[in-house]
């Protein structure tokens, strides 16, 4: 964060998460054949953001974030698997309270809209070859509570 005026700070940041999410399930209907069950999980995500802040008092800081976010989602269905890349926007709002010196506590809420991704897959489901094209979208949110240290 850089001071623009006494009551306004501007900053930028980057976040990266290489960790996989939990696997989730989905089910699709195939005309005349029944249903098939697939799985998906987030493999990587990142967020590049600008942040604007205003001091609340001598030790508090209210801030907002807006940025560009992206993620890879891996999915499997029958013998087919694929990875879709998503890109969109992020919004966040938080409060930082300095406890002593450079030590602070914070609470932050974020929303990530990863946008749409079109995929084309082919494989064999229930013994029948298939080819498909579909468009999906993804979004996520989180609430963070933590402590930090400003160097």
Give the rounded percent of residues in the chain with a pLDDT score beyond 70: 99
- Give yes or no for residue 134 having a pLDDT over 80: no
For residue 134, give the nearest of 116, 110, 114, 112 by alpha carbon.
Answer: 116
What pTM was estimated for this model as a whole? 0.78
Closest CA to 56 of 13, 128, 104: 104
**Residue 131 confidence (pLDDT):** 80
CA–CA distance, 82 with 15 (Å, rounded to integer) = 25
Helix/strand/coil (H, E, C) string of 106-135? EEEEEEEEEEEEEEEEEEEECCEEEEEEEE
User: Given a cut of 80, is residue 92 above it in pLDDT?
Assistant: yes
Residue 77: is its pLDDT beyond 90? no
Q: Is the pLDDT of residue 98 over 90?
A: yes
Q: How many CB atoms lie within 10 A of CB 108?
A: 16
14-44 pLDDT, tens digit per residue, is 999 988 888 888 887 767 778 888 898 988 8
What pLDDT score was predicted for residue 151? 86
Q: At 70, is the pLDDT very low, low, confident or very high (cuts 50, 70, 90)? A: very high
Position 122 scores a pLDDT of 83
Cβ atoms 78, 124 nearer than 8 A: yes
Looking at the predicted structure, is the pLDDT value of residue 78 above 80? Answer: no
CATH at 85? 2.40.160
Report the number of distinct structural domains present in the chain: 1
Q: Please tell me which residue, 51 or 123, carries the higher pLDDT value.
A: 51
At 54, list the tokens.
């205003």
Structural domain of residue 145, as residue ranges? 2-149
Average pLDDT over residues 84-113: 95
Calculate the average pLDDT of the chain. Answer: 89
* Residue 88 three-state SS: strand
């Amino acid at each position: 964060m850089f001071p623009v005026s006494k009551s306004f700070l501007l900053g930028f940041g980057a976040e990266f998460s290489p960790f996989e999410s939990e696997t989730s399930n989905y089910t699709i209907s195939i005309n005349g054949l029944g249903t098939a069950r697939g799985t998906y999980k987030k493999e990587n995500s990142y967020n590049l953001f600008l942040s604007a802040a205003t001091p609340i008092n001598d030790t508090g800081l209210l801030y907002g974030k807006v940025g560009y976010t992206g993620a890879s989602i891996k999915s499997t269905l029958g013998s087919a698997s694929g990875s879709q890349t998503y890109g969109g926007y992020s919004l966040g709002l938080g409060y930082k309270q300095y406890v002593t010196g450079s030590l602070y506590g914070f609470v932050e809420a974020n929303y990530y809209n990863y946008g749409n991704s079109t995929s084309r897959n082919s494989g064999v489901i229930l013994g029948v070859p298939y080819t498909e094209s579909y468009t999906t979208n993804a979004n996520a949110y989180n609430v963070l509570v933590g402590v930090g240290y400003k160097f």
